[in-house]
Structure formats: C-alpha cells, structure tokens
Amino acid sequence: MSTLAPTPTPTATPTPTATAAPAAAGRRPAITDWRPEDPEFWRTTGAPIARRNLYVSIFAEHVGFSVWSLWSVTVLFLGPAYGIDPAGKFLLTAVPAALGAVLRLPYTLAVARFGGRNWTIVSALLLLVPAVPMAVLLEPGVSYPTLMVLACLTGVGGGNFASSMANINLFYPDRLKGRALGLNAGGGNLGVPAVQLVGLAVLATAGAAYPRLVPAVYLPLIVLAALAAARWLDNLPGARNEPGALREAVREPHTWVMSLLYVGTFGSFIGFGFAFGQVLQLQFHDRFPTPVDAAWLTFLGPLVGSLIRPLGGQLADRLGGARVTFWNFVAMAAGAGLVLYAARERSLPLYLAGFLSLFVFSGIGNGSTYKMIPAIFRARTAAAVDRGADPVAAQRRGRRLSGALIGIAGAVGASGGVLVNVAFRQSFLTSGNADAAYLAFIGWYALSFVVTWAVYLRPGPRRLAGV
C-alpha cells in the first residue's frame, strides 16, 4: 500500500539525521534521509534504526492482537448469571473480527498519511476505548447490547496488524523484508494465545466471577506500547499512498483469488482462535464442565499457529508459494475431516489432534499465501518486459499492485474470522452440534486447493513462472 518515493543521493555520506530539522528537547531529530537499498547506508546507520523500530512494532502489534482477541477468553467467563446462550456468545466473538477486517485497509493507508510513529501512538491509545469500559462494566446484569458494543470495539486491535506491517515494510531493503515482516506478523499473532493465557491465569486464581481483570491487565501494557512508540519509533520521509492503486487492484483478478485463499488461511487462524474455547466446551461438556477446564487447552492452537507461520514463508521460498499453498489446503481439508469424525465419535484426543493440525496448517498457509503475492507481480512484470514494456514502469506498476493487493487481501482475509464464528453459531442453532460448520470448512478448503491448482499450478502457456 505504501511505498518510499525515490530520494536523491547526497554528495556527502549522510547519517539519518544529517539534514534533520531541530528536534524538541528529549527527542531524536526527525529522519529526512532514508535509503535502505544503499548497502553502506544500511550497514552504518539504517540497520540499527530499523531493528529498533521492528522491536517496538512487534510489542505494540502484540498488544493490539491481544485486545482484538479479548472476547475469545471473555466468553468463557459468561456463565448462567449473564443469561447468554451459545449462539449469543458466537456473535460476541464474530463482531470483533468484523470490525478488525473493516479497519485493516484505512489503517494501512494511515501510515503514509500520518507517519508510522504517529499512527502507532494513536492506534495503541485507541485500544483503551474497548479495554477501559470492559474493565468497568463486565459483571452480571450488564445488558447483551452493551456486551455487543464492547466486543465490537475490540476490533480496533485488528487494524493494528495492517498499519504495523505497512510501517515495517518501509524500513527494510527488499532482500530483508520477508524475515522482518515474518517476525512482525508472528510476534503480533502471539497476542492471541497470550491473552488466553492471561484469561487462564485469572480463571485459576480469581475465578470466573472476575472477567474484568483480563482487560485490566492490558491497561498498563497499552499505555506502555504508546509510550514506547513515542520514545523509540520514527517517521520516515517519502512514504506515500500511491494514487489509484486501490482502484486498479480491485480490477485485478488475482486480488480476489488471493483474497479467497487468505480467507482460508488467516481467516481460519483468527476465527478458530476466537471460537476454539467455546466449541471445546460445547462439544465435550462432560469433559470441560467449567471455563477453567477448557481454558488450559485453548491457547495451544493459536500458539502453534503463530510460531509456525515463518515456516510457511520458508517453504514457499524453497518449493514455491502456490505448491505449498495447494498441499496446505489439502491438509486443512483432511484436518477438518478428522475434527468432524472425532466430534461424531466423541474422541477428545482425535478432536484435539485435528484442531491443532488446523492451527498448524493455517499458520503455514498464512506464510505461503503472503509470499505468493509479490511473486505473482514479479512474474507479471517479467512477462510484460519480455513483451517490450518499459522495465522501470513495469516494476513500478508491479510494486503498486502488490502493495494494494496485500492491503485488500488482508482486510478480506480477516473477514474469515467472522465466517468461522457465524458458521459455528448457525450449526449449533440448527442441529445442536458443529458438524455442519466442519462440512462448510471442508468445502471451503477444497474450493481453495482447486482454485490454487487451476490458477497457479495448472500447466499451460498462461501459468505464472515462479509463483
């Protein structure tokens, strides 16, 4: 979405602050020269600044993901005193995913508009909007509409991922973007199991009567994230939103193909992360009669899915993103089939194995589908140059569309979290179990691997090389 405009090469060897305006007392001067592709600049001055910004970004994004995922654990506290049935609880975990998906695109654009440092401070402080009232209002007697509003507001944490990724993308040279973005994404995704561990700790110590303690734990962390951003992050010069890139990307068929695939990978990860605790307690109520009995298992899936995400990118580098994505969706369909079989047979070990496999493969798929996007436009650029197009113009167009596609696919993919929770809700409403939801997931994964093969792997003259 955001790119760095070319900056002229100075006659003297610069430092990042060589041409900076005077800084306010106690603050570093603003960066006015940034050339990460210059090896000498990167070695002497760029790399330390980029690493500092990456570490702070990971922390701020991690807190954002945790706030986004608050209701995945909060619903486990909502016992009979709250008067909410399972269908109502699935809605409470669906609305944060919905707002988070909607906010991803404007949050991406905000980095170039306001500056990465400035927007990280604002986006961190916005996390207080849901966290403070949750810490005050969560108790028996609170109305369901109030809970819906509070749940929806936690969606602001879902936008933080997009702005964080857009910001870190600006700091690193192309050869190092993959690793930096993988660390940033993985650190953020770990916010899902982290908040569930916080919930488990509260359940195990204070008990289910104190759900407000979970958001209360995050209040100082939110403030710390904003202060860390103010102290250690930088705004970069030259970042801009390419005019017309979004409109052009919307007309690009690959945008919607990749969005469909990302719904299956990231949408599954965030959707299952939100719903797993509820589903486990409903499917095996005799084994998990209390929230704490279920909570000690719910963090495992998001944890392994987050930790394994970089492996998807590494496999895509070695074997090709489309090939990894294809077999990954085959494995996800098999995993969903195992979950369906285990649910019908009432086999908890098989059920847990199937669900953990879904988290593992959704994490791998997150990495492999993300890697496919720039590969698609590298192949398109090479083909255009072979046909006589201007290389500079073709490369610039490829970068514009690749950035815009990542923003759109990220927003659409996050909506998969809504679909997962709605599927569970409808399945339990109509049949009292989740079988119909599992069949829907199998169908989506089957559609995804068929589309992956048809568009990116099927032999023929129109196949894109290197995807």
The pLDDT of residue 348: 92
Take residue 319 and report the two structure tokens written for it.
């074997």
Confidence of residue 93 (pLDDT cuts 50, 70, 90): very high
Residue-level pLDDT at 14: 42
Q: For 2, which DSSP code?
A: E
- For 4, list phi and psi in degrees, rounded to 5: -90, 130
pLDDT tens per residue, range 264-282 = 999 999 999 999 988 988 8
Over residues 117-141, mean pLDDT: 95
Short-list 412, 411, 413, 441, CA closest to 426: 441
Whether pLDDT at 296 is above 70: yes
Asked if residue 339 has pLDDT above 70, the reply is yes
Mean of pLDDT over the chain: 87
175 and 431 Cβ atoms separated by less than 8 Å: no
Mean pLDDT across the stretch 292-306?
83
pLDDT tens-digit readout, 208-265 = 889 999 999 999 999 999 999 999 999 988 777 777 788 888 888 999 999 999 999 9
The backbone region for 238, taken as left when phi is positive above 0, alpha when psi lies in -120 to 50, beta otherwise, is left
The yes-or-no verdict on residue 9 having pLDDT over 50 is no
pLDDT at 390: 84
**pLDDT over threshold 80, residue 198:** yes
Q: Which of 75-84, 177-186, 407-416, 441-450 has the highest mean pLDDT?
A: 441-450
pLDDT at 23 over 80: no
**Strand-pair partners of 2:** 241
Q: What is the pLDDT of residue 18?
A: 36
Which of 76-85, 107-116, 331-340, 395-404 ranks highest by mean pLDDT? 331-340
pLDDT at 27 over 80: no
Q: Which residue has the tokens 């998001």?
A: 302
Which pLDDT score is estimated for 29? 73
| Global confidence as pTM | 0.85
